């Protein structure tokens, strides 16, 4: 394995000639399973390595070989030159989520087991990478922690908006908002929710956010709103999105603590930046 790729070899001999599979073979008499795995790796791919963990183990009945017991290991390359050898005619790294159809069912099961074991760790890494990326848009991998919050917002936008509208109309910190119709207030909520979703999914960089909220601050000043009202309205949007998300029982896995802290941090980051730029636009 390297990063999120898996090394496969194309078989040169029957059975399944021309099919891709994990580097594999049979242990020799007196040879440990671990030693056999590393030997086969070097013979078929030219790479030397060290075993970092057991991925999967099981047994199967094969029409060609008969009864088999197999072990699949995660191996870290330590040396050698990547090249096809032994009975392999090609060797290549594939993205682990985009492997070709494999020759052996046990290989497919092992890769799926590995993906399942790493999914929560990858979710944390992806979420962190998205939050600190300086690029406008980064490739979206499955299972971003933010996906959960995005789904909650999109599916329940109308309900969350209703809570916010009822509060902002009667809240003492936003007196001018009670002059607007519920329909107009709902439109404003949905606009901010869309900005936040873009931010969470990586489709929105800081330059775009700055332009949007500075323009908003300028427009609201011309409309006669006080700056404190604008900041309070944004704070209430954050409050109702977050409270609704928590009420849905989203946190029920081992990474619950990280997920909660990470999403809360990213929500605070977005709305702090939004508030700052509203202020700058208002002061312009």
Q: What is the pLDDT of residues 34-43, one digit of tens each?
A: 999 999 999 9
pTM tops 0.75, yes or no: no
Burial of residue 168 (number of CB atoms within 10 Å: 0-12, 13-18, 19+): buried
Query: CA triplet 37, 40, 46: central angle to 5 degrees?
Result: 125
Residue 2 confidence (pLDDT): 55
Residue 126 confidence (pLDDT): 66
Provide CATH 1.10.490.70 ranges for the chain: 144-283
Residue 81 confidence (pLDDT): 95
| Residues lower than pLDDT 70 in the chain | 1-2, 123-148, 248-262
* Secondary structure letter of residue 103 according to DSSP: S
Question: In the structure encoding, which two tokens stand for residue 47, read together?
Answer: 């790479």
Let me know if domain 144-283 sits in CATH 3.10.440.10: no
Provide CATH 3.90.79.10 ranges for the chain: 5-118
Residue 68 confidence (pLDDT): 87
Q: Which CATH architecture has domain 5-118?
A: Alpha-Beta Complex (3.90)
Beta strands in the chain (DSSP E): 5-11, 20-21, 47-62, 66-80, 88-95
Tally Cβ neighbours within 10 Å of residue 279.
16
């Amino acid at each position: 394995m390297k990063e999120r790729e898996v090394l496969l070899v194309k078989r040169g001999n029957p059975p399944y000639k021309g099919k891709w599979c994990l580097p594999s073979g049979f242990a020799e008499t007196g040879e440990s399973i671990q030693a056999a795995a590393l030997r086969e790796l070097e013979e078929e791919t030219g790479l030397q390595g060290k075993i970092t963990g057991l991925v999967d183990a099981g047994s199967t009945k094969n029409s060609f070989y008969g009864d088999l017991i197999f072990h699949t290991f995660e191996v870290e390359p330590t040396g050698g030159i990547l090249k096809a050898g032994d009975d392999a005619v090609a060797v290549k790294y594939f993205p682990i989520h985009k492997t070709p159809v494999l020759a052996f069912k046990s290989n497919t099961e092992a890769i799926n087991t590995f993906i399942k074991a790493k999914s929560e760790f990858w979710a944390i890494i992806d979420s962190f990478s998205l939050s600190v990326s300086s690029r406008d848009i980064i490739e979206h991998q499955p299972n971003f922690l933010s996906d959960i919050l995005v789904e909650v917002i999109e599916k329940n936008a109308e309900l969350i908006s209703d809570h916010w509208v009822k509060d902002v109309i009667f809240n003492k910190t936003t007196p001018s908002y009670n002059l607007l119709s519920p329909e107009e207030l709902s439109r404003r909520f949905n606009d901010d929710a869309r900005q936040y979703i873009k931010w969470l999914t990586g489709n929105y960089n800081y330059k775009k956010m700055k332009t949007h909220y500075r323009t908003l601050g300028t427009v609201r000043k011309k409309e006669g709103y006080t700056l404190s009202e604008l900041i309070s309205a944004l704070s209430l949007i954050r409050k109702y999105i977050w409270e609704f998300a928590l009420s849905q029982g989203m946190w029920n896995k081992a990474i619950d603590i990280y997920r909660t802290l990470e999403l809360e941090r990213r929500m605070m980051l977005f709305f702090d930046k939004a508030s700052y730029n509203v202020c700058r636009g208002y002061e312009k």
